[in-house]
Structure 1
């Protein structure tokens, strides 16, 4: 798989209101981030509305879902939203898809939708990709699949443009290399981009993040977690170059809490 240039995204939600959300989008573009990525959760504004607004407020910034949870809409509805965003953003939308976190069971019930089995949710992801390809026609919506298990990794290798290496923050480098191998086997000659989300930049984790992910910064350090980047900008850049060399990962996203902290790394590596 040929080595790709680095690009960077920031994961944020429009939870603090429209003005702050648009300021975040403009700042991400100003700092050289490639994409602004929005989570999918009934407790925050819809990613469709938020991303359309962010694209309208910027010039070149790409926008993406991180990720649309398959239990929260039918495959056809998800594809409709995705293709619509591709149209209204002038091709600056990237569709992130996944089977959703466990709390999506209750949220699906609120929407009157079945949560389904793991295979049902994965089938919905696959069907969404097929619907998007049909709706796009001559356009092409880049599709990211969050691949946390073997079936998801195989599907992502077969159908996705971008594969986000999902799973436990304590997954080892050796395990991650094995997962990349599974994806490469499924992808064959297809040209895919490998992505990784960084939970912590530095050595301090916000309290809400500890509760959400169920792990603290000390544990991440102890396990040499790939979900953390430490040191100065040069140290972080060197670590990301190592990951690209060893794992093929070139697309890195960080939580919006670290938008400014991570910017020097973006400046060092973006496009290289």
Structure 2
């Protein structure tokens, strides 16, 4: 389905300066493309943390996974994104979405922000992208859209550079291939420029404690359903499986949590 080069990203969270810069430098040394960070109000803020990581590395990209649109005015999110892109030498990717339910709950509880409707949240995402494009001028900050429903997928087809398809861990390969094909068809002439990113939450046979809470299921069930959120086997077997996912599903970019960075590094070496 695609012959795009593989790219691999690490998702992590800062605990302190030494740990955070260590993660960034190790990710760069091991051949990962990007260091990603979530946008949640109960964790460190992404923009200053990612700026610090970019300043401590030379080729590593940094990005949000993903910015919650309702937490910021579109112009403010675009302003911060453009600044980080400019000061990092163009090494920033703006990942943005409409916000997961728990993020919207925290926004209400901690900031007093009432969650807009789904339609309004999607409009905020689009407005943020438009504001960023205006600020970028001749530059171009890559935008990743986390797209769940049909309207979000249509927006991704129209304006994203990178797309991750928010889906159940039990989404079948056939269903995922159909969604990728849908976005590509809607993108028209832009289709070949799109890069599809797939999150992998577990490398191997044992899931960290946070994975069942996040996915609301256990490892046994994920295996039984051939979930695309897990990757098992030897490094060579995992590399072969990712080649199959690229060929049959269209995914050329994959994310892993930093707890699996060293374990996954041999796969990165085989595919890059």
Calculate the TM-score normalised by the size of structure 1.
0.96
Structure 2 residue matching 1:103: 3-state secondary structure: helix
CA contact (8 A) 2:2 2:246 kept: no
**Secondary structure in structure 2 of the residue aligned to 1:97:** strand
CA deviation string 1:12-65 (max 9, x = no partner): 111x21110110000000000000000000111110011000001111100000
Q: Deviations over 1:229-256 (max 9, x none)?
A: 0001111111110011111110111111
Query: What residue is the counterpart of 1:43 in the other structure?
Result: 42
Q: Which residue of 1 aligns with 2:220?
A: 218
* Cα deviation, residue 76, structure 1: 1.2
Which residue matches 2:158? 158
Give the drift of 1:200. 0.6
Gaps of 5+ in 2: none
CA RMSD of aligned residues (A): 1.1
Contact 1:9 1:252 in 2 (8 A): yes
Counterpart residue number, 1:208: 210
1:185 aligns with 2:188: no
C-alpha distance in 2 between matches for 1:255 and 1:224: 20
The Cα shift of 1:3 comes to: 2.3
1:24 aligns with 2:26: no
- List aligned pairs for 1:14-163, cutoff 5 A: 14=14, 16-109=15-108, 110-163=110-163
The structural deviation recorded for 1:189 is 1.2
The whole-number CA distance in structure 2 between the counterparts of 1:105 and 1:208 is: 20
SS of residue matched to 1:23: helix
Q: How far did residue 2 of structure 1 move?
A: 5.0
More helix as a share of residues: 2
Native 8 Å contact 1:169 1:220 kept in 2? yes
Within the candidate set 236, 241, 254, 1:239 is matched to 241
Offset, 1:150: 1.2
Please report how far the alpha carbon of residue 113 of structure 1 lies from its aligned counterpart in structure 2 after TM superposition.
Answer: 2.8
- SS of match in other structure, 1:132: helix
- Structure 1 contact 75–124 (Cα < 8 Å) conserved: yes
Match of 2:265 in 1: 263
Q: TM-score, normalised by structure 2?
A: 0.96
Distance 1:222 1:254 in 2: 21
Q: CA deviation at 1:221?
A: 0.2
Say which SS state the counterpart of residue 217 (structure 2) adopts.
coil
For residues 126 and 132 of structure 2, the distance between their equivalents in structure 1, rounded to whole angstroms, comes to 10
Q: List gaps (5 residues or longer) in structure 1.
A: none
Q: How many residues align?
A: 269
Q: Is the 1:166–1:196 contact (alpha carbons within 8 Å) kept by the matching residues of 2? A: no
1-structure distance, mates of 2:3, 2:131: 30
Contact 1:104 1:115 in 2 (8 A): no
